């Protein structure tokens, strides 16, 4: 039996071991609803309207879709989720998921919130990483303009100086506290600006070990070339490269904007091309694992098996700190729990924030589970399988 086959993502007893029958049935009902595309669209619209009209629906949202995909409204509320995941050997990545605020005061508040997650991680055995989006601490239009040939005004230069200072404050605290931090990827028209900030932070804080991680969206056809470029730069400048590998989150938007601007679409032409590029990127990173640390952020079973096989090929132990698997809270428990049970390093992204502020995130999760071919059906079928197993056992 190959090492990959020692882990079975069909083992629902392990996948849902920490859910009571009542919790599992509640999950079953939620995914059954998300299997219905029209219900998701109608329900999402109704939830947004109800909140905007200040109708008393927050409790219902919090006890349903919010509870499935979020840890709480505050870091303190996330503690039971952190502990629960930790008991199964799964780490937590606290993800402050408030969106839509874009002023200097909100940017400064976000910095303090991210630093608070770093402080929590520094005192917990169950939080291996922190994470933030640069658009959480910077105006997206400014990031986009900085990527063009346009000259920034003096006011914009001052604003960008504050952006750099915010990013540095987060990464410096992570370095001081020994906490690894992911800088999330964003849209292509601002990603080079974000990359440049990442390079600056890595050169400052990754001299002894990887602290700052850049994120690579492998649905973009040039990202493996970028990983190779970044690795050469890290080698040249004498620091470690940290990389989170994901497929990506802005595919439809990227295609639409490329068409509007009359430029080449940066997205791979097919899903198969993205899958192949993802797996090829994993191989490149493991070939250079002495100077690269990675987190494979994926809900793709075959990519997880592929990484397990690569680790075996390169004689890397399952619990090697340089390699992590990661999934979102509330999704793909069959991957997370079975990988952790087999001794691999696993972490769950645990979003948190006020219910009203994380609604865009929650609606994307619902849409994603409906839109991704088979995703909601896969989750639903696994929960159903476990309910049936428990019924037979009883």
User: Residue 154 pLDDT > 90, yes or no?
Assistant: yes
Query: For position 393, what pLDDT does the model report?
Result: 86
How many alpha carbons lie under 13 Å from residue 388 in its C-beta half-sphere?
6
End-to-end CA distance of the chain: 32
In this predicted model, what pLDDT tens digit does every residue of 5-34 receive, in sequence order?
Answer: 589 999 999 999 999 999 999 999 888 877
- Average pLDDT rounded to a whole number, residues 41-64: 65
Task: For residue 212, give the H/E element and its range.
Answer: strand 212-217
CA distances from 153 to 108, 145, 162 (A): 22, 11, 14
Distance from C-alpha of 360 to C-alpha of 383, rounded to nearest angstrom: 26
Query: Given pLDDT bands bounded at 50, 70 and 90, which one contains residue 1?
Result: very low
Structure confidence at residue 352 (pLDDT): 96
Decide if pLDDT at 101 tops 80. Answer: no
pLDDT over 90 percentage in the chain: 74
User: Average pLDDT for residues 242-251, to the nearest whole number?
Assistant: 90
Tens of pLDDT, residue by residue over 69-81, are 999 999 999 999 9
Q: Give residue 361's pLDDT.
A: 77
Residue 195 has pLDDT above 90, yes or no: yes
**pLDDT over 90 at 251, yes or no:** no
Angle between helices 271-287 and 223-237 (to 10 degrees): 20
Say if residue 249's pLDDT is above 60.
Answer: yes
Tokens 């995703």 belong to which residue? 375
Burial class, 325, CB count within 10 angstroms (exposed 0-12 / middle 13-18 / buried 19+): buried
Instruction: Annotate 235-275 with three-state secondary structure.
Output: HHHCCCEEEEEECCCCHHHHHHHHHHHCCCCCECCCHHHHH
In 3D space, the residue among 310, 303, 309, 358 whose CA is nearest the CA of residue 325 turns out to be 303
Average pLDDT on 138-162 reads 96
Q: Is residue 131 over pLDDT 80? A: yes
Cα–Cα dist 124/92, whole Å: 10
């Amino acid at each position: 039996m190959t090492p990959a086959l020692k882990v079975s993502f069909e083992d629902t007893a392990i996948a849902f071991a920490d859910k009571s029958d009542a919790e599992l049935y509640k999950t079953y009902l939620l995914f059954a609803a998300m299997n219905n595309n029209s219900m998701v669209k109608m329900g999402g619209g109704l939830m947004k309207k109800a909140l905007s009209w200040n109708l008393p629906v927050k409790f219902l949202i919090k006890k349903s879709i919010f509870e499935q995909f979020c840890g709480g409204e505050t870091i303190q509320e996330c503690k039971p989720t952190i502990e629960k995941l930790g008991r199964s050997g799964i780490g937590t990545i606290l993800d402050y998921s408030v969106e839509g605020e874009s002023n200097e005061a909100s940017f400064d508040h976000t910095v303090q919130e991210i630093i608070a997650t770093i402080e929590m991680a520094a005192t917990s055995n169950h939080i291996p990483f922190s994470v933030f989006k640069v658009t959480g601490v910077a105006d997206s239009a400014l990031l986009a303009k900085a990527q063009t040939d346009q000259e920034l005004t003096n006011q914009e230069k001052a604003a960008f100086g504050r952006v750099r200072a915010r990013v540095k404050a987060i990464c410096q605290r992570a370095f001081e506290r020994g906490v690894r931090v992911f800088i999330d990827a964003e849209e292509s028209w601002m990603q080079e600006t974000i990359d440049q900030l990442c390079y600056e932070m890595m050169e400052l804080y990754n001299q002894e070990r990887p602290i700052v991680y850049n994120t690579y969206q492998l649905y973009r056809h040039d990202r493996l070339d970028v990983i190779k470029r970044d690795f050469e730069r890290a080698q040249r400048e004498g620091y470690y490269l940290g990389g989170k590998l994901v497929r990506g989150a802005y595919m439809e938007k990227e295609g639409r904007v490329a068409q509007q601007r009359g430029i080449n679409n940066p997205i791979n032409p097919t899903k198969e091309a993205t899958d192949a590029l993802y797996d090829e990127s994993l191989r490149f990173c493991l070939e250079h694992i002495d100077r690269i640390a990675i987190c494979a952020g994926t809900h793709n079973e075959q990519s997880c098996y592929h990484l397990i096989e690569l680790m075996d090929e390169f004689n890397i132990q399952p619990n090697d700190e340089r390699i992590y698997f990661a999934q979102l809270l509330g999704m793909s428990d069959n991957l997370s729990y079975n990988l952790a049970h087999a001794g691999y390093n696993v972490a769950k992204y645990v979003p948190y924030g006020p219910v009203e502020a994380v609604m865009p995130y929650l609606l994307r999760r619902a849409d994603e589970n409906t839109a991704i071919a088979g995703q909601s059906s896969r989750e639903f079928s696994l929960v159903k399988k476990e309910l049936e197993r428990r019924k037979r056992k009883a």
